[in-house]
Structure 1
Amino acid sequence: MAEPSIESLSEAEAADELARLAAEMARHDALYAEAAPEITDADYDALRARNLAIETRFPALVREDSPSRKVGAPVSSQFAEVRHGVPMLSLDNAFDDGDVTDFVARIRRFLNLPADERIAFVAEPKIDGLSANIRYENGVLVQGATRGDGRAGEDITANLKTLKDIPQKLSGSGWPALIEVRGEVYAPNEEFAAFNAEAEAAGRRTYANPRNFAAGSLRQIDPSVTAGRPLRFFAYAWGESSEPFAETQGQALEKFNAWGFPVNPRSTRVEGAEGLVGIYHGLETDRAGLGYDIDGVVYKVDRLDWQSRLGFVSRSPRWAIAHKFPAQQATTVLEGIDIQVGRTGSLTPVARLAPVTVGGVVVRNATLHNEDEIARKDVRIGDTVVLQRAGDVIPQIVSVVADKRPADAMPYLFPTHCPVCGSEAVRPEGEVRRRCTGGLICAAQLVERLKHFVSRRAFDIEGLGEKQLIAFHERGWIHEPADIFRLARDTEKLDDLRAEDGYGETSVKNLVAGIDARRTIALERLLFGLGIRDIGDQTSLLLARHFGDWKAFHAAALEAASGIPSPEWTQLAEGHGVSARTLSVMAAAELSSDDPWPEAPLDQKLAFAFPGVAAPARRALAELTTDWPSILELARIAREDGPSATLGEIAGISGVGPVAARAVAEFFHEPHNQTVVTNLIDQLDVIEDAERPKSDTQVAGKTVVFTGALERFTRDEAKARAESLGAKVSGSVSKKTDYLVAGPGAGSKLADAQKHGVAVLTEDEWLALIGG
Structure 2
Amino acid sequence: MTEENPSLFDSATAAETVSDPAARIEALRREIEHHTYLYYAKDAPEISDAAFDSLMRELRELEAAHPEFYDANSPTQRVGGYVGEQFAPVTHAARMYSIDDAMGLEELEAWLDRLQETLGRFVPLCCELKIDGSGIALTYEDGRLVRASTRGDGTTGEDITANIRTIRDVPLRLRDQAQAMLADPEAAIELRGEAYMPKSSFEKLNAAAAANGKDGFANPRNAAAGSLRQKDPSITEHRDLSTFIYATASNAAFRMGGQFELLEWMREAGFHVNPDVALCSTREEVLAFCEKVLEKRSSLPYDIDGVVVKVNEFAIQDAMGFTARAPRWAIAYKFPPEEKTTLLRDITVQVGRTGALTPVAELEPVRIAGSVVARATLHNEDEVRRKDVRVGDTVIVRKAGDVIPEVLGHVPSLRPADAQEWSMPQTCPSCGSPVVREEGEAAYRCVSIDCPAQAHERLVHWASRGAMDIEGLGDEVIGRLLESGRVTDVADYYNLSEYDLATLDMGRVNKDGEAIHLGPVVAAKILAELQASKQRGLARVLFGLGIRHVGKTTAESIAQAYPSIQALRDASEEQLAAIEGIGAIIAKSIYLFLRTPQNEQVIDRLLAAGVVMEEQRVDSGKPQTLAGLTFVLTGTLSQSGMSRTDAGAALKEMGAKVSGSVSKKTSCVIAGEAAGSKYDKAVSLGVPVIDEAAFLRILETGEAPEGVGEA
TM-score bracket, normalised by the shorter chain, equals 0.5 to 0.7
Q: Is the 8 A contact 2:395 2:411 kept in 1?
A: yes
5 Å-filtered alignment, 1:350-429, equals 350-391=360-401, 394-429=404-439
Q: Does 1:306 align with 2:316?
A: yes
Task: Give the 3-state SS of the residue equivalent to 1:520 in structure 2.
Answer: coil
Query: Which amino acid in the other structure matches residue 99 of structure 2?
Result: D
Match of 2:129 among 126, 129, 152: 126
Pairwise CA distance, 1:532: 1.7
Gaps (5+ residues) in structure 2? 1-7, 10-23, 60-72, 138-142, 152-159, 201-219, 225-242, 268-272, 507-514, 631-660, 671-684, 686-705
TM-score w.r.t. the length of structure 2 is 0.57
Pairwise CA distance, 1:531: 2.0
Structure 1 match to 2:13? none
Q: Does 1:536 align with 2:551?
A: yes
The alpha-carbon distance between structure 1 residues 350 and 719, as it changes in their structure 2 partners (threshold 3 A), is: same
Structure 2 match to 1:443? 452
Pairwise CA distance, 1:540: 1.0
Task: Give the 3-state SS of the residue equivalent to 1:719 in structure 2.
Answer: coil
Report the Cα distance in structure 2 between the residues aligned to 1:88 and 1:61, rounded to whole angstroms.
11
The alpha-carbon distance between structure 1 residues 432 and 277, as it changes in their structure 2 partners (threshold 3 A), is: farther
Report the Cα distance in structure 1 between the residues aligned to 2:618 and 2:34, rounded to whole angstroms.
26
Q: Is the 8 A contact 2:428 2:434 kept in 1?
A: yes
The alpha-carbon distance between structure 1 residues 244 and 400, as it changes in their structure 2 partners (threshold 3 A), is: same
Report the Cα distance in structure 2 between the residues aligned to 1:445 and 1:353, rounded to whole angstroms.
25
Structure 1 match to 2:75? 56
Encode CA deviations 1:231-259: one digit per residue, 9 max, x unaligned: xx9998899999977656678899999xx
Structure 2 match to 1:340? 350
Pairwise CA distance, 1:143: 11
Pairwise CA distance, 1:520: 0.5
Pairwise CA distance, 1:374: 0.9
Structure 2 match to 1:658? 584
Report the Cα distance in structure 2 between the residues aligned to 1:690 and 1:11, rounded to whole angstroms.
33
Query: Which amino acid in the other structure matches residue 519 of structure 2?
Result: G
The alpha-carbon distance between structure 1 residues 185 and 531, as it changes in their structure 2 partners (threshold 3 A), is: closer
The alpha-carbon distance between structure 1 residues 677 and 507, as it changes in their structure 2 partners (threshold 3 A), is: same
Q: Is the 8 A contact 2:561 2:579 kept in 1?
A: yes
Gaps (5+ residues) in structure 1? 29-38, 72-83, 134-141, 161-166, 193-210, 216-232, 561-646, 703-714, 725-742, 744-766
Q: Which structure has the highest helix share of the two? A: 1
Report the Cα distance in structure 2 between the residues aligned to 1:498 and 1:129, rounded to whole angstroms.
39
TM-score w.r.t. the length of structure 1 is 0.53
Q: Is the 8 A contact 1:15 1:61 kept in 2?
A: no
Query: Which amino acid in the other structure matches residue 432 of structure 1?
Result: A
Match of 1:505 among 487, 506, 520: 520
Encode CA deviations 1:207-266: one digit per residue, 9 max, x unaligned: xxxx99xx9xxxxxxxxxxxxxxxxx9998899999977656678899999xxx998696
Query: Which amino acid in the other structure matches residue 665 of structure 2?
Result: K
Q: Is the 8 A contact 1:10 1:536 kept in 2?
A: no
Q: Does 1:21 align with 2:39?
A: yes
Task: Give the 3-state SS of the residue equivalent to 2:541 in structure 1.
Answer: helix
Q: Is the 8 A contact 1:387 1:397 kept in 2?
A: yes
Encode CA deviations 1:560-597: one digit per residue, 9 max, x unaligned: 1xxxxxxxxxxxxxxxxxxxxxxxxxxxxxxxxxxxxx
Q: Is the 8 A contact 2:100 2:326 kept in 1?
A: no
Encode CA deviations 1:45-82: one digit per residue, 9 max, x unaligned: 98999999998269799643399x999xxxxxxxxxxx
Pairwise CA distance, 1:425: 2.7
The alpha-carbon distance between structure 1 residues 528 and 175, as it changes in their structure 2 partners (threshold 3 A), is: closer
Match of 1:680 among 606, 625, 650: 606
Encode CA deviations 1:646-688: one digit per residue, 9 max, x unaligned: x333213232111001111122233443332222123235444
Match of 1:719 among 645, 655, 665: 665
Structure 1 match to 2:595? 669
Structure 2 match to 1:484? 493
Report the Cα distance in structure 2 between the residues aligned to 1:177 and 1:379, rounded to whole angstroms.
62
Report the Cα distance in structure 2 between the residues aligned to 1:446 and 1:252, rounded to whole angstroms.
51
Pairwise CA distance, 1:720: 2.6
Match of 1:689 among 604, 612, 616: 616
Pairwise CA distance, 1:470: 4.4
Report the Cα distance in structure 2 between the residues aligned to 1:351 and 1:559, rounded to whole angstroms.
42
Encode CA deviations 1:483-539: one digit per residue, 9 max, x unaligned: 211225xx6646765998412220211121111110111322111112222212221
Structure 2 match to 1:96? 103
Task: Give the 3-state SS of the residue equivalent to 1:521 in structure 2.
Answer: coil
Task: Give the 3-state SS of the residue equivalent to 2:600 in structure 1.
Answer: helix
Pairwise CA distance, 1:415: 1.8
Pairwise CA distance, 1:339: 0.6
The total of aligned residue pairs comes to 538
Report the Cα distance in structure 2 between the residues aligned to 1:355 and 1:768, rounded to whole angstroms.
67
Query: Which amino acid in the other structure matches residue 367 of structure 2?
Result: T
The alpha-carbon distance between structure 1 residues 768 and 316, as it changes in their structure 2 partners (threshold 3 A), is: closer
Encode CA deviations 1:295-339: one digit per residue, 9 max, x unaligned: 533211243312234457899755323312122222222222221
Q: Is the 8 A contact 1:383 1:405 kept in 2?
A: yes
Pairwise CA distance, 1:419: 1.7
Report the Cα distance in structure 1 between the residues aligned to 2:300 and 2:522, rounded to whole angstroms.
59
Report the Cα distance in structure 2 between the residues aligned to 1:289 and 1:444, rounded to whole angstroms.
37
Structure 1 match to 2:541? 526
Query: Which amino acid in the other structure matches residue 390 of structure 1?
Result: A
The alpha-carbon distance between structure 1 residues 7 and 503, as it changes in their structure 2 partners (threshold 3 A), is: farther
What CA RMSD, in Å, does the superposition of the two structures yield over aligned residues? 6.4
Task: Give the 3-state SS of the residue equivalent to 1:411 in structure 2.
Answer: coil
The alpha-carbon distance between structure 1 residues 48 and 467, as it changes in their structure 2 partners (threshold 3 A), is: farther
Structure 1 match to 2:68? none
Match of 1:464 among 468, 473, 477: 473
Report the Cα distance in structure 1 between the residues aligned to 2:474 and 2:195, rounded to whole angstroms.
43
Task: Give the 3-state SS of the residue equivalent to 2:345 in structure 1.
Answer: strand
Encode CA deviations 1:740-761: one digit per residue, 9 max, x unaligned: xxx9xxxxxxxxxxxxxxxxxx
Pairwise CA distance, 1:404: 2.7
Task: Give the 3-state SS of the residue equivalent to 1:340 in structure 2.
Answer: strand
Query: Which amino acid in the other structure matches residue 456 of structure 1?
Result: R
Pairwise CA distance, 1:557: 3.6
Query: Which amino acid in the other structure matches residue 269 of structure 1?
Result: S
Structure 2 match to 1:554? 566
Report the Cα distance in structure 1 between the residues aligned to 2:418 and 2:627, rounded to whole angstroms.
71
Identity %: 30
Pairwise CA distance, 1:15: 7.4
Pairwise CA distance, 1:348: 0.8
